[in-house]
Amino acid sequence: MNLPEFHNEPYSDFSAPANREAMEEALSNVRAQFGREYQLRIGSDWIATNDKLNSLNPSNTREVVGIHHRATTELANRAVECAYTYFPAWSRTPAEERVRLLVDAARILRRRKMEFNAWMVYEAGKSWPEAEADVSEAIDFCDYYAREMLRLAGPQKIHQMAGEQDELVYIPLGVGIVIPPWNFPLAILVGMTVASLVTGNTAIIKPSSETPTIAAKFAEVLLEAGFPEGCFTLLTGSGSAVGDVLVQHPKTRFIAFTGSRDVGLRINELAAKTQPGQLWIKRVIAEMGGKDAIVVDADCDLDKAVEGVLVSAFGYQGQKCSACSRAIVDAKVYEPFLDKLAQKAKTIRVGPADDPRNYMGPVISAGARKSILEYIEAGKKEGRLLSGGQAQEGDGYFIAPTIVADVDSKARIFQEEIFGPVLAVTKARDFQHALDLANDSQYGLTGAVFSNDPEHLRQAAEQFHVGNLYLNRKCTGAMVGAHPFGGFNMSGTDSKAGGPDYLMLFLQAKSIARKVS
Ligand code: NAP
């Protein structure tokens, strides 16, 4: 089987009238499906439970996007047993057949792109371009991992012993638990799921309780592409209720998690404890939080730095693990940087995500809004409020883009992940001091440096301890294939999603030596 070379999915340009109209139409079609009920499915059984979860539109909380049935612990156990039973058949399905199904899933996603964009706008509060980027990344994951699996299913280069025929083959692990966050409700869910499936594992997907409808729609895509019912289960339910059961089950072989530090550490701890009857050491792939910094050097294009910081801090309301939540600025340009930043921040429009004139939509939930506003109050005491600083009127969870200047590196808003539209700005004595401040964090996910000085860029490449470093560009927007993604320290296991090492995490290598003479 030969596939053409991988290319990133191009973004739809919404300034083109045809794309605009297609998106408007998708929004209205999706809106017409609001309030539909989605049952659970284990194998070929569709299951209703009495415990229902209403997924709301964060731009207008009176609107119910979808109604989902929450799994019980009994169903979680049943899902693992079902995945375990089906594993032998799926793991022996030829890799080329699994790849063919995945390429088909990418094709269906591409065909339904505007529809998925619209679900994203309504269930996750993404602006049109942010939704488009999320769906495009999901397509990229399918296309990229399909090609990677072909590579790994082929002959591997190993030394041949005299008189032997030696080979190394990659085989799947077993039952995987896929636990994604809500902030890339399609891309991250798709990435971890298809990596599990294309490598021959069976998977139980426990989607975020904030974005279950997008997950249900992707489950439809997998079935339409021809993935057998037994190879995956979408198990909607509360992470705290069913998460522990899935993670601790003795037949669970690995957990692919993306989410907060605390939940990731809990999963890691629980998975490390061997259960009665368990035959393996569970593997944990955990991608967690960030407290990402952009360093602004004295010698740089200040307008580009301001633009890079704003886009990274306030794109999708700062709810990206890669979002810039700390700007660390050389004292020589600190005041002019703040002036330009405050001016530009004032032009950011906040409001319902389905209105393309709004750059920022709502934050995801009432809980998130409460927590972010508490951080903003703390920030007002920890520095000088430059812009924003409060919730914004409307029927959704809106918060004004907030900038706090003169923040000390020991302040909470400098150290803790807020996951909202809050930017702390800190003054550095010089470039080395700026790098030291940037590294003064338990996290190490993304970072960026704006500088015209080649020696400073070299210094940053060597010292800035982050999994994804960007020079003279924003610190968000990793592209599959070009920027394998994953962080250091408390940002996780550095799995490098969208890179050549990723699928290896879902496989184990078997060496076969055949005596021939
Ligand atoms: P979260 O609260 O940790 O939840 C993530 C997932 O874990 C959800 O599906 C959640 O289910 C589930 N969960 C909760 N408790 C669990 C438990 N005890 N056992 C098993 N699963 C459990 O994170 P989030 O709020 O969805 O996402 C935001 C976080 O993700 C941020 O910290 C962000 O930095 C991080 N993130 C990291 C990356 C990366 O690549 N490093 C990418 C994106 C996001 P429920 O929704 O039902 O609680």
Considering only CA atoms, which residue is closest to atom 40 of ligand 1? 287
Taking the chain (517 residues) in runs of 10, the rounded mean pLDDT of each run is: 96 98 98 97 94 98 98 97 98 98 98 98 98 98 98 97 98 98 98 98 98 98 98 95 96 98 98 98 98 98 98 98 98 98 97 98 98 98 97 96 98 98 98 98 98 98 98 98 98 98 98 97
Q: How far apart are CA 63 and CA 66, in angstroms?
A: 9
pLDDT at residue 402, rounded to an integer:
98
Alpha carbon of 285 to ligand 1 centroid (Å): 13
Considering only CA atoms, which residue is closest to atom 43 of ligand 1? 321
Considering only CA atoms, which residue is closest to atom 32 of ligand 1? 260
Establish whether residue 127 lines the binding site of ligand 1, counting it when its CB lies within 6 angstroms of any ligand atom.
no
DSSP 8-state assignment for residue 331: G
pLDDT at residue 142, rounded to an integer:
98
Q: What is the CA radius of gyration of the chain?
A: 23
How much of the chain exceeds pLDDT 90, in percent? 99
246 Cα nearest atom in ligand 1: 20
pLDDT at residue 232, rounded to an integer:
98
- Longest CA–CA separation in the chain, Å: 80
**pTM score, whole prediction:** 0.98
Catalytic residue among 9, 287, 382, 417: 287
pLDDT at residue 486, rounded to an integer:
98
Establish whether residue 55 lines the binding site of ligand 1, counting it when its CB lies within 6 angstroms of any ligand atom.
no
pLDDT digits (tens, 9 = 90+) for 218-276: 999 999 999 999 999 999 999 999 999 999 999 999 999 999 999 999 999 999 999 99
Alpha carbon of 386 to ligand 1 centroid (Å): 31
Establish whether residue 187 lines the binding site of ligand 1, counting it when its CB lies within 6 angstroms of any ligand atom.
no
Establish whether residue 419 lines the binding site of ligand 1, counting it when its CB lies within 6 angstroms of any ligand atom.
yes
Determine the straight-line distance between the first and last CA of the chain, rounded to whole angstroms: 33
Considering only CA atoms, which residue is closest to atom 14 of ligand 1? 239
HSE, CB side, 13 Å, CA atoms: give it for residue 379. 32
Establish whether residue 71 lines the binding site of ligand 1, counting it when its CB lies within 6 angstroms of any ligand atom.
no
Kindly report the number of other CB atoms within 10 A of residue 282's CB atom.
24
Q: Exposure string (b/e) for 110-129, b if CB count within 10 Å is 16 or more?
A: bebbbbbbbbbbbbbbbbbb
Single-letter amino acid code for the residue at 182: W
Is residue 287 part of the annotated active site? The answer reads yes
Q: How far apart are CA 110 and CA 106, in angstroms?
A: 6
Q: Which residues contact 140 (CB under 8 A, 6 or more apart)?
A: 6, 8, 9, 479, 480, 481, 498
364 Cα nearest atom in ligand 1: 25
Establish whether residue 260 lines the binding site of ligand 1, counting it when its CB lies within 6 angstroms of any ligand atom.
yes
Considering only CA atoms, which residue is closest to atom 39 of ligand 1? 287
Single-letter amino acid code for the residue at 104: D
244 Cα nearest atom in ligand 1: 19
Summary mean pLDDT of the chain: 98
Mutate to test the pocket of ligand 1, among 141, 208, 442 (most ligand atoms within 8 A of CB): 208
pLDDT at residue 50, rounded to an integer:
87
